[in-house]
A and B are shown apart, each in its own frame.
Chain A
Amino acid sequence: MLRMIITVLMTLVFALPAHAVDGTELLKEVDRNLSPESYQTYRKLINIEPDGRKKEYTLFSVKKGQDRVAALFLAPASDRGRSTLRLGENMWLYIPNVGKPIRITSLQSVVGGVFNNADILSLDYATEYNVVKTEIGGSLSLLHLKAKNRTVAYDRLKMWVDAEKKLPTKIECLTEAGMLIKTLYFKKQKDFGEGIVRPSVIETDSPLYKGYKSIMIFADIKKRTLRDEVFTLTYMPNLESLRR
């Protein structure tokens, strides 16, 4: 009997961390399946109003490693040449007319709509969040994520992951008190080449913006080796030169 109790206790002791580790590993797999560690991409952001009217932005983006992202606006003409940079929790916006990068915050949005700067210049989820709970059931796993610090835009995330493809299908972004800020829906899986197979469309809506919807469409994702110096304030006016 004592042996049985010890066995059960040992199983419980080792099983609990094993679940946590599984969740963390799954999150890292999700990150790598969504994008290579360093890459370039072309995206379109569309803000859709309740009456169906749209406003579109086209961006060229590059990312390197855990915490470096930069994006350049290609369209519309009124925004062409603007660029944004993220180094960890530091974010800047460069507007050609203003002529110098200004600091922006993750909760602002350089394009309006439901996506904020943290969504547009997103880092790997595992960089910003810890897995606090993993629910595995059927074809979907549910990861409960908690921000590693207070500078992260959303305090908590609930991420539904396709258990087979290891890709997110839906993410709910929540405040510390559990209030829903927005929901991201991952759609239209696409083969981008070089082994990158991932959703090509992210839709978002928010109870804070009733009737509004924003969509992010990925046209192209390619692995790319980039120098660290590309992700600096001084380089922001030159991002166009990275396009080939």
Chain B
Amino acid sequence: MKLLRFKNRWLPLFLLLILILTPAASRAEEDYSFDAAEIEKKPYHLGGYVEARPVLFVPDKNSALYKLNYYNHPAGKTMEEYNFRLQLEGSYEKDIYRFYAKTNTDYKNAYSGESERSVFYEAYGSLKSSPSLKLEAGKKTLKWGKGYAWNPVAFMDRPKDPNDPELPLEGYIVASADYIRSFSGPLKTLSFTPVLLPVYDHINDSFGQNNDLNAAGKLYVLLYDTDIDFILLTGGSKTTRYGADFSRNITTNLEIHGEIAYIRDHQKTFIDSNGTAYLKEYDTTSYLLGLRYLTAIDTTYIFEYYHGGTGFTEDEMKNYYAFINKGYQSYESTGSDTLLQRAATLTENNYGRMNPMRNYLFLRISQKEPFDILYVTPTVTGIFNWDDGGLNLSPEVTYTRIKNLELRLKAIFLIAGRDSEFGEKPNAYRFELRAGYYF
């Protein structure tokens, strides 16, 4: 009876304890299964990305490009810019056919005004009769080359921004094929990618000279554990060019890569300080050498040296800046912006392109989750202009704790003197926040 009383007294407590502990126990015992719907294959896919990116610029009012851009509407001590981006992507697949499209809408509200541009980045159809052969036609990006910041052999792509090399790019309308063969032995893979790229009115007209059909090809081999590509572009829109690249893992944490491009009959337009234009035609070579290295504490180093044979020399750039300054003086004394308008024309797709000079060093150091701060990755990137000694230094920190949301805070400091590429940019500093959400 005594025992029974004891049991009766302790039983509710025991049951309560079980009740309290049961959820904890089930929490401790993880749910080791996942929903079949997660892995169900659907013929279609819809997704997208939305981004807000406010930017604060601190202008350098003595720089040549500030004078060129803002001579008739000077800015204050700072300039704000609000950027929004929406990307939608979808695909539909049936049997051996697949259609894929990706749109991009950019909206910008800046000191110089509002702008909006919507475009298909990619929209193409594929026919894959076997794993060895695929035919594609439509607008697509090819992204050839092994370099991280620059790709001298990416003959069929728009140039990427070394400050943000992983941003998606708009493609060109092409017809292409992929033929793949695998082997055993030192040569493990061989693939050939022929590409046709037409340039006519409203079709790829930004690629080069109009009314021409361009042909390109890439031969890829995986030989002795080294990726090697041989690339050719010919046709009338751009001069004929040949390229090759390689990439190889040296150890479990070190990769090396390189690219070389030989460009025939390159035409360079440049000016003297009075604005007199000259045209020089020459064969030239561009190349890149780089490495990626991962340390035991999860620090990643990416280092690249780039030589652009089509780039401007230091003197050619100095003449360009001198001409802008002359145009600005002329505007201030006479009110005429004729010279500045001419400088603006020369800037577009010429002096104003990404990294227009010849020799650059790139170093990106990225530390994953330092001091056990989870989902935080600080990175610092430096682009050093070897020719004029200028430095583009950009520290950034990304935070990815929330599922599908990426936050990035970034600053760009241009440490360079007058008459140098970075020293003559319109802004001395720039701070930006990027919030991007995938759905």
Contacts and interface: CB of A to CB of B under 8 A. Distances in A.
A107 B250 CA distance: 13
A235 interface: yes
Interface stretch (A7-15, A160-168, A225-233): A225-233
A90 B294 contact: no
B166 A235 contact: no
A77 B148 CA distance: 24
Interface stretch (B251-259, B316-324, B341-349): B251-259
A74 B38 contact: yes
Nearest to A87: B188
Contact of A219 (B34, B132, B180): B34
A200 interface: yes
A151 B251 contact: yes
Interface residues of A, number: 58
Contact of A103 (B41, B98, B180, B247): B247
Contacts of B358: none
Contacts of B254: 105
Contacts of A234: 178, 180, 189, 191, 193, 220
A100 interface: yes
Contact of A100 (B33, B143, B249, B300): B143
Contact of A220 (B39, B188, B404): B39
Contacts of A178: none
B85 interface: no
B47 A74 contact: no
Category for how many chain B residues contact A: 35 or more
B41 A243 contact: yes
Interface in A83-120: 87-91, 95-100, 102-108, 112
Interface in B98-146: 98, 128, 130-132, 134, 141-146
Nearest to B192: A234
Interface in B252-282: 252-255, 257
Contacts of A107: 252-253, 294
A3 interface: no
B111 to A, nearest CB: 29
A88 B226 CA distance: 12
A112 B438 contact: no
Interface string A19-43: 0000000000000000000000010
B185 to A, nearest CB: 12
A124 interface: no
Given A100-B145, A232-B182, A80 B188 contact: no
A224 interface: no
Given A151-B251, A227-B131, A99 B438 contact: no
A58 B167 CA distance: 24
Contacts of A103: 227, 247-249, 255, 257, 292
Contacts of A235: 131, 180
B39 A42 contact: yes
Interface string A66-85: 00000000111110100000
B47 A77 contact: yes
A199 to B, nearest CB: 10
A49 B252 contact: no
The listed residue with most A CB atoms (<10 A of its CB), out of B167, B220, B251, is B251
A132 interface: no
Interface in B10-56: 30, 32-34, 36, 38-39, 41, 47
B435 to A, nearest CB: 13
A241 interface: yes
B180 A60 contact: no
A89 B141 CA distance: 29
Contact of B93 (A87, A99, A232, A241): A241
Contacts of A228: 182
Interface string B219-262: 01010010100000000000000000001110111110100000
B128 A241 contact: yes
Contact of A90 (B148, B222, B405): B222
Contacts of A76: 403-404, 438
B251 A229 contact: no
B6 interface: no
A153 interface: yes
B81 interface: no
A97 to B, nearest CB: 5
A80 B89 CA distance: 12
A217 interface: yes
Interface string B187-212: 01101010000000000000000000
A238 B134 contact: yes
A219 B39 contact: yes
Contact of B253 (A96, A105, A188, A232): A105
Contacts of A150: 251-252
Nearest to A226: B131
A178 B220 CA distance: 41
Interface in A186-209: 187-188, 200-201
A74 B39 contact: yes
Given A215-B30, A229-B132, 18 more contacts: A49-B374, A55-B403, A60-B39, A76-B438, A78-B404, A80-B47, A80-B438, A87-B222, A90-B249, A97-B167, A103-B249, A106-B252, A108-B300, A229-B182, A232-B182, A232-B222, A233-B222, A234-B220
11 contacts: A46-B30, A76-B438, A87-B188, A87-B189, A89-B225, A89-B252, A102-B148, A105-B255, A107-B294, A217-B34, A227-B130
